[in-house]
Amino acid sequence: MKLMKLILFAVTFVTTLQLIFAQHKQSCHSPIYCQGDLLHVIQTAKIFNDSKTFVDMAMINPVNETLQKFQTMMAENDDNPSRAQIKQFVFENFKTIGELEEWYPRDYKAEPKIIKEIQDPVIRAFTQNIISIWPTLTRRVSYHVFDHPETHSLIPVEHPFIIPGGRFKEYYYWDSYWILKGLLLSDMMETSKGLVQNLLSMVERFGFIPNGGRIYYLNRSQPPLLSLMVADYVKFSKDFEFIRQNINTLDKELEFWLTKRVTKITKDGKVYELAHYDSESDTPRPESYLEDVETCIQLKTEEERYECYTDLKGGAESGWDFSSRWLFDKKGYPTGDLTMINTRRNIPADLNAFLYRAFKVLNKFNLILQNDEMAKFYQDCMERWKEAIEAILWNEEDGTWYDYDLKLQKQRRHYFASNLTPLWAGAFDESKRVEKGQRSVQYLKKYGIDQYRGGIPTSLFPTGQQWDFPNAWSPYQNLIIIGLEKSEDPEAQELAKHLAHVWVNSNIKAFHENKVMFEKYSAESSGHFGGGGEYHIQAGFGWSNGCVLELIHLYFRAKTRKYIGFH
């Protein structure tokens, strides 16, 4: 359906649609930012090129007054205002400034310890440039939001934080995991602690960590990495009391995943439990409202459309928004067609690897605190997940792990960078560590992954979605490289060193040519940024900075056996 026809349809039948939406699970309770006629009319009018722009704006007046002004505007125009009239209403009642303040971190150091350990002048200069980006990405919530939270979509948090960059002007869950690694390597302990405390406070308020720091994200989470963040912070800071102070909160977060995201799988007469991504809502994403309506309206039935909305939000929860991992036809073959999104029927290898690592961390923390009962609980979780990952996700013939299709009851035997995450997590029998490393090398070389000049591709399907070929994303470079390194297989470690070299080289080249770090890069050529997806390439970029610092720390310091220099 053409855009103008869609807008006319949407505005004409707004009341009917909103009555239907009222029967479904909304993104949040806000009548401005998550549901209602106002959101629907403004977003379907396409006032902005990016739907996120509107839901990130703050109200000038209180909620009730804003709604009253909207109702007046609609009544004066017979419930069919023009785009110009809607645009005028938006700019008279909303503003784009005042939520966040720039903040210069007090613990910022221009030359932290890592700089002194690097002899190669090119690597050292690049590392200094990356570290110098942290102050430009540091923000804190302004007093306006604390005083009038109902007029903002931003969720206020106490401590300063690092934003990813570009269109992402708030904090995000799994971005923060990689950002934290970079902050810790930059000796920024105060900022690191505050970042973790902000996320812990979200669990206390909501029972889980939302996708990001906006109320319209309160219907979904992101990969469960908080326990690992606490472990990383404690490892660097030696603040072991931090574990005691927050152990109950970490337990609370994992309870969310165990009660809300776990499903049962039967194989060979035995029942296993593994997790999948989902959402608490079946209406359009407020930050991608028009895009979701345009996608799901193509489906035949109302039920299919609401299933589509839920799977889109589940895909956003995965962090892979979007990819042929979630987009496939009835036979399970990957596609780039968003109407074929099937996130919830996919059991992801990486999500369950993340959970396994989280269980391991909580087991260790509880042993330290002598909480024997909870330590045993998480030990049992570890064993169950390890067994299930081996039985359901491991493919002995191919020598790797695959996502599992709940509907077709079989593995999705396609290359995705996420396949190797269980190697990083150590989610297998310890006696098979070297063997798993060897098999992983064979698998990667089978698909020529070691031959790409720009990094490890996320998939091999050129669908146009941003988590597909030819894009290469920072987190999965680190997950694969560190997984290979930890396997203790010599050939795997050599491949890890080679892949680290390729990625750091590509990041340096892109930075030299563009003077910025990018959200994603092209695997096909060194130094080129990626593309595709719902929005343009973003610069900043929090997790790219953190990931490359971790690889420099592991492979490019003079005082480590892993030093390989720069060529």
Neighbours of 139 (CB within 10 A): 17
508: nearest Cα among 452, 562, 537, 549: 549
Secondary element (H or E) of residue 230: helix 226-237
> What would the pLDDT profile of 363-385 be if each residue is shown by its tens digit?
999 999 999 999 999 999 999 99
Is residue 529 helix, strand or coil?
strand
Q: What is the mean pLDDT of residues 28-35?
A: 95
pTM beyond 0.85: yes
Name the residue with tokens 């091999």.
460
- The answer on pLDDT for 190 being more than 90 is yes
- Look at residue 3 in the predicted model and tell me its pLDDT: 45
How many degrees, rounded to 5, is the angle at CA 399 between CA 397 and CA 400? 120
- Look at residue 565 in the predicted model and tell me its pLDDT: 38
Calpha distance 236→251 (Å, rounded): 22
- The answer on pLDDT for 288 being more than 70 is yes
Phi and psi angles of residue 389, each rounded to the nearest 5 degrees, phi first: -60, -40
> Which band of pLDDT confidence, cut at 50, 70 and 90, is reported for residue 566?
very low
- Look at residue 2 in the predicted model and tell me its pLDDT: 43
Q: How far is CA 20 from the centre of its chain?
A: 30
Active site residue 311: no
Mean pLDDT over each residue of the chain, to the nearest integer: 93
Q: Do the Cβ atoms of 541 and 478 come closer than 8 Å? A: no
> What would the pLDDT profile of 336-368 be if each residue is shown by its tens digit?
999 999 999 999 999 999 999 999 999 999 999
- Look at residue 23 in the predicted model and tell me its pLDDT: 66
How many degrees, rounded to 5, is the angle at CA 125 between CA 120 and CA 128? 125
- Look at residue 24 in the predicted model and tell me its pLDDT: 81
- The answer on pLDDT for 559 being more than 70 is no
Q: What is the mean pLDDT of residues 415-425?
A: 98
Calpha distance 27→35 (Å, rounded): 7
Neighbours of 134 (CB within 10 A): 23
- Look at residue 22 in the predicted model and tell me its pLDDT: 54
Residues in CB range of 432: below 8 A, 6 or more apart: none
- The answer on pLDDT for 61 being more than 70 is yes
Q: What is the mean pLDDT of residues 177-203?
A: 98
> What would the pLDDT profile of 466-507 be if each residue is shown by its tens digit?
999 999 999 999 999 999 999 999 999 999 999 999 999 999
How many degrees, rounded to 5, is the angle at CA 171 between CA 169 and CA 172? 115
Structure-token pair, residue 435 = 């063997």
- Look at residue 330 in the predicted model and tell me its pLDDT: 85
Q: What is the mean pLDDT of residues 190-204?
A: 98
- The answer on pLDDT for 6 being more than 50 is no
- Look at residue 563 in the predicted model and tell me its pLDDT: 38
Given the residues 321, 468, 485, 489, the one annotated as active site: 321
14: nearest Cα among 33, 34, 42, 48: 42
Q: What is the mean pLDDT of residues 260-278?
A: 98
Neighbours of 129 (CB within 10 A): 15
Cα torsion angle, 515, 181, 465, 43, sign: negative
Per DSSP, the chain holds a count of helices (H) and strands (E) of 23, 14
Verify cis geometry, omega within 30 degrees of 0, for the bond prior to 13. Answer: no
Domain ranges of the chain: 37-95, 101-238, 289-339, 414-566
How many degrees, rounded to 5, is the angle at CA 485 between CA 487 and CA 174? 105
> What would the pLDDT profile of 112-160 be if each residue is shown by its tens digit?
999 999 999 999 999 999 999 999 999 999 999 999 999 999 999 999 9
- The answer on pLDDT for 459 being more than 90 is yes
Write the CA distances from 180 to 84, 228, 351, integer angstroms.
44, 10, 19
Upper half-sphere CA count for residue 197 (Cβ side, 13 Å): 13
Q: Do the Cβ atoms of 393 and 402 come closer than 8 Å? A: yes
Cα torsion angle, 130, 141, 358, 350, sign: negative
Active site residue 321: yes
